[in-house]
Homo-oligomer: A and B are copies of this chain.
Amino acid sequence: MPTAPPLGLRERKKLRTRREIAEAANHLITEHGIEHVTIEQIAAAADVAPRTFFRYFDSKEDAFLSDHRDKLATFRAALLERPANEGALTAVRTALLGLADIYEIDRDEVLCKARLVAESPGLHLRSLELHADLQQSIADAIATRMHVDLADDMRPAVIAAAVSGALQAALGHWVANGAREDLPTLVGAALDLLDGGLDEFGRP
């Protein structure tokens, strides 16, 4: 694994500024709703110029969802670090359960953000984009482990869509029910549903 690089003052300042902007966005948007918060306000709360905001984030949606993006980056790293001899589905399943753990840890924050995402079309769109990125990561990993090319063989893409969709569905169900159930258990159940095949459903 890559050893931690010694961050200079510059890098630490940048990370700090980024975090302050993201936190300002979180607070303001959580309290007032995203359409009632301007980038100017977020920048003022983070004590930077509006122009600086755009050096760190493309939009206020990006800033608000940066936590989520970080979680998915962690997932991606975990997936890449699974043992090479592990089967594709096993690796993905393990990494997805790890992601579910992360969501469970930040339970309240995830729940709160999910409600705001559901109410805002713009946030919903960005959220879909993050999910598509996740799906792409999974497809890449599966193709690598199956020793096939994504361009030639569509099976990895199909499996990735199904698996990431299962996560999405489990997450949606978890959020809709106020996060009362155990998320990793839900995700595991959703994945089991796929593993067993869908043939049993839908016959009259």
Query: Measuring CB to CB, which residues of chain A are less than 8 angstroms from any residue of chain B?
Result: 85-92, 124-126, 128-129, 132, 135, 142, 145-146, 151, 154-155, 157-166, 168-170, 172-173, 176-177, 186, 189-190, 193-199, 201-204
Instruction: Tell me whether A194 and B193 are in contact (CB under 8 A).
Output: no
Where chain A touches its partner, the secondary structure class is helix
Instruction: Tell me whether A158 and B128 are in contact (CB under 8 A).
Output: no
Instruction: Tell me whether A158 and B170 are in contact (CB under 8 A).
Output: yes
For A162, the closest partner residue in chain B by CB is B162
For A157, the closest partner residue in chain B by CB is B169
Instruction: Tell me whether A154 and B92 are in contact (CB under 8 A).
Output: no
For A176, the closest partner residue in chain B by CB is B151
List of B residues within 8 angstroms of A195 by Cβ: 197-199
Please name 13 further chain A to chain B contacts, defined as beta carbons within 8 Å, in addition to the given A128-B132, A151-B176, sorted by A numbering: A89-B199, A89-B203, A125-B128, A154-B170, A154-B189, A155-B193, A159-B201, A160-B169, A161-B169, A162-B165, A194-B194, A196-B197, A196-B199
List of B residues within 8 angstroms of A159 by Cβ: 193, 198, 201
Question: Can you list 20 A-B contacts (CB < 8 A)?
Answer: A85-B204, A87-B201, A87-B203, A88-B201, A89-B202, A90-B202, A124-B129, A128-B129, A142-B201, A154-B190, A157-B169, A158-B166, A158-B190, A160-B169, A161-B161, A161-B166, A161-B169, A162-B198, A195-B197, A195-B198
List of B residues within 8 angstroms of A165 by Cβ: 135, 158, 160-162, 164-165
For A83, the closest partner residue in chain B by CB is B204
Knowing A125-B129, A132-B128, A165-B164, say if A89 contacts B201 (CB, 8 Å): yes
Assembled-state Cα–Cα distance A202/B85 (Å): 10
Task: Quote the shortest CB–CB distance from A201 to chain B (angstroms).
Answer: 5
Instruction: Tell me whether B125 and A198 are in contact (CB under 8 A).
Output: no
For A131, the closest partner residue in chain B by CB is B128
Instruction: Tell me whether B162 and A166 are in contact (CB under 8 A).
Output: yes
